[in-house]
A and B are shown apart, each in its own frame.
Chain A
């Protein structure tokens, strides 16, 4: 059974830093790209970042480029998101998600964590 356990959220001041983690199990972690998706209070889902299975390729939504860094440790089955220069608009629940690999579900996210809450005070 695929399981994704998000952790690391909390309350931080504007300009602060935070590191989110996602512990994965139930599948061959290194075979799949992983992503972070967030949901601000009262808003919809927003893709934040994605990393390839090998970790060699990453991509970010424009608003977090230069401030957030996605990484993974395939030996431990963990995904991370290092967030710095945090802004109040980064306040959201952050979900880690496994990207589907087959051609039929290409670029879909087939399993998600429960999310971890990040609050940035102004």
Chain B
């Protein structure tokens, strides 16, 4: 159980185009999903937190107009990189948190999406 998928697993696009990445919780409902960015040989940096049915909360320094997040259902969140540029090339990972009885912060991670902007 607790499987999170991402689509696509990798994408190459031209500079100036927009790219959408999907994150799905396959066997549980995710009230909260998280988007991370990881540069080579570095740790994960939280970009934003999205709660189903409400606006995402972005971390300081993350451009909300460039990285559009939509969490339209309890199993799907999307990240759209608008007007992508080479510096946006990175590994994007989503995670989803399953709310159990009691309080737990276990997050289940997707396999990641490799974005390369030419």
A, B co-complexed: no
Chain A: residues with CB nearer than 8 A to chain B?
Answer: none
